[in-house]
Amino acid sequence: MAEANITHHIVAIEAVHCPIPEFDLPGPHTRAVHRWTDPSELPSRLKDATIVITTTIRLTAETLSPEITPKLRLIVIMATGTDCVDVAAARARGITVCNCPGSNIDSVSEHAIGLYFATRRKFIELHNATVAVPADPSLDTEWKTKGSLLSRVRAPDGKAPLLCSDETVCIIGYGSLGKRIEAMAKGLGMKVIIAERKGVSPRPGRYAFEEALKTSTVVILCLPRSAETLNMISTAEFKIMSPHGLLINVARGGIVDEEALLQALKDGAISGAATDVYATEPAGRGDSPLLSPDAAALNLVLTPHLAWYAERTLQNLSASVKITIDKWCTGETINPVY
């Protein structure tokens, strides 16, 4: 429980994503805002912090030790996901951890549907083929030369792409985001099925995990990363998916085995994939096989973890962080992670 007469030092270690609000605390406080913090800079920046705001920068058990963060009492994650904080280590020290649930639901759900269309209709490949200028000046564009580029949008079996009304969308992770995507997909005329978690007997109205993968033509991931969901989609899962299947990941990196996904696309086991998240972020060519030269010619749409980004999301996050810290400093905890 926070006391009003404590002088708090609030440290935002990752302001690159979203403006950090001012706070209305009952007692004196200081506020340090850093655009980005390298792991090597954490000890010096956090040594006097009583409250820390992070988004993706990891606060490990080592960082949360009394030697590095002796005064820390509250962590606010300026995001919905909580995997950037070692919650068990925080709990062991009595450090409260809160997040900002529901702040980005509209933006992420719209992004997920956009990724579906971009992948099913192969927008990026078609754009590149349409504007590409041959090195030989005597040749015209591929479209002009061939008369049509329809061969580029065909499915692996040579058939034309499916319409929304022909799709069966499997949603894995049926929280607020999953429910919002379900409503949008149904609005487009898609059939929607909800998958039970892997290894769990399905509840009424849900499909067993493996059956959902077999039955669907689009799989959308909306669930948190945890020890139970790490590499949840890998070689075995791609083998049972439809060759017309698409995988859309707007959840967290690490839920999909990236090496297995690359191989599945190369083998034609699935038709395409799109992801906004990666096992290592920010991702460079040495961090993910999905950014390797082997992936360049595949039906793979990549965005840099910006599905959340919208003006409304920024407003929601800023407001949520402000009220969470303001209330905690008066003795009320909202949005606790545990």
**What pLDDT does residue 230 have?**
95
Catalytic residues: 252, 281, 305
Q: Are 203 and 196 in contact (CB under 8 A)?
A: yes
| pLDDT tens-place values along the chain, 338 residues long | 455 568 999 999 999 999 999 999 998 999 999 999 999 999 999 999 999 999 999 999 999 999 999 999 999 999 998 999 999 999 999 999 999 999 999 999 999 999 999 999 999 999 999 999 888 988 999 999 999 999 999 988 889 999 999 999 999 999 999 999 999 999 999 999 999 999 999 999 999 999 999 999 999 999 999 999 999 999 999 999 999 999 999 999 999 999 999 999 999 999 999 999 999 999 998 999 999 999 999 999 999 999 999 999 999 999 999 999 999 999 999 999 98
290: left (phi over 0), alpha (psi -120 to 50) or beta: alpha
Contact in structure between 10 and 325 (CB atoms under 8 Å): yes
Q: Give CA separation, 177 vs 52, 102, 173, 215, 311, in Å.
A: 26, 8, 8, 22, 18
* 3-state SS, residue 51: strand
pLDDT for res 137: 86
All domains of the chain in start order, with CATH: 8-103+312-328 (3.40.50.720), 105-121+161-302 (3.40.50.720)
pLDDT attached to residue 4: 53
Report which of 22, 77, 87, 86 is spatially closest to residue 55, judged by C-alpha positions. 77
Tell me the backbone φ, ψ of residue 126, rounded to 5 degrees: -65, -40
Note whether 53 and 13 are within 8 A (CB).
yes
- Predicted confidence at residue 5, as pLDDT, reads 64
3-state secondary structure the chain: CCCCCCCEEEEECCCCCCCCCCCCCCCCEEEEECCCCCHHHHHHHHCCCCEEEECCCCECCCCCCCCCCCCCCEEEECCCCCCCECHHHHHHHCCEEECCCCCCHHHHHHHHHHHHHHHHCCHHHHHHHHHCCCCCCCCCCHHHHHCCCHHHHCCCCCCCCCCHHHCEEEEECCCHHHHHHHHHHHHCCCEEEEECCCCCCCCCCCECHHHHHHHCCEEEECCCCCCCCCCCECHHHHHHCCCCCEEEECCCCCCECHHHHHHHHHHCCCCEEEECCCCCCCCCCCCCHHHCHHHCCCCEEECCCCCCCCHHHHHHHHHHHHHHHHHHCCCCCCCECC
**Confidence at residue 185, expressed as pLDDT on a 0 to 100 scale:** 98
| Residue 336, preceding peptide bond in cis (omega within 30° of 0) | no
- DSSP secondary structure code for residue 236 in this structure: H
